Amino acid sequence: MSASKGILVFLLVLLAVGVIGGGCAMSGYNRAIGLNEGVKSAWGQVETQLQRRYDLIPNLVETVKGYAKHESDLFTAIAEARTKYFQPGATQSDKLKSANQLEGLLSRLLVLQEQYPQLKANESFLKLQDTLEGTENRVSVERTRYNDTVRMLNSYVNGFPGRLFAGFAGVKAADYFEAAPASKEAPKVNFGTK
């Protein structure tokens, strides 16, 4: 009888370890999936605000073009950045680079108002500028939220035992949405001869 009780206790302990281990594995797997979905959701919110920004840009550019005809290089660069963002097959990393490039160009575009008093007083331009500034604030908020979710995911994916569960779930670390190096400098507008 004692041998059968020993076997029974051993099987119960083995079953308990299996249930606890399986529960931990399932919990870790689900956490990896949940964090990954959180990053995707946060990126969707960033893209919504970037789309809004890109929808506003043609109107802003056309308003400014009337006053600053010789700034064609700036307008071309803005159009190229916008095109790169919407290019078929553009990866999230490509879109991040395009959005960062555009951010610096928009700063230069908005500096033009200082050079053109008529533009500064133009009601259409002022409305577009206010809308774009509001959108930039929303992009900033969503960028922060996105980077927070990326930080949580990357901490989990790069830590132990999260690395095991993330590998099992096929979840990888995500890229941060960082400010472009050019956005750290004040934009300069030169109206001198070329």
CA 85/CA 107 separation, integer angstroms: 18
pLDDT tens, residue by residue, 81-138? 888 888 898 888 888 888 888 888 888 777 776 666 666 657 777 777 788 888 888 9
At 90 the three-state DSSP class reads coil
Fold of 20-173: de novo design (two linked rop proteins) (1.20.1440)
Residues 6 or more apart whose Cβ sits within 8 Å of residue 122: 63, 67
CA dihedral 151, 157, 158, 159 (to 10 degrees): 100
Instruction: Give the Cα separation of 43 and 174 in Å (integer).
Output: 10
What would the pLDDT profile of 58-72 be if each residue is shown by its tens digit?
877 777 776 666 577
Domain ranges of the chain: 20-173
Q: Give CA–CA dist 63/75, Å, rounded.
A: 12
